[in-house]
Amino acid sequence: MEQNLKTGGLDDSLTPSTRLLNQKLGTSPELRQLTPSEIELLIRSKQELAAQAFATLTRASVHKVTAAH
């Protein structure tokens, strides 16, 4: 995972926004304020991750209910 972040979130990033965010932020040792576009990208990434998690939970619960019948 560390190697993945250093190279900019290659193919195994969870969402396109996460990959782009990793590419933009890199691994700078200095603290700094995020730019407005980085904040927007971070919010979009979290929304995509939440949608994926909800879809996964929904699929899991559907499979669980149908398997019980």
pLDDT digits 0-9 by tens, 18-48 = 788 888 777 777 888 889 998 998 899 899 9
Furthest CA-CA distance within the chain: 56
- The identity of residue 54, as a single letter, is F
Is the pTM value of this prediction over 0.75? no
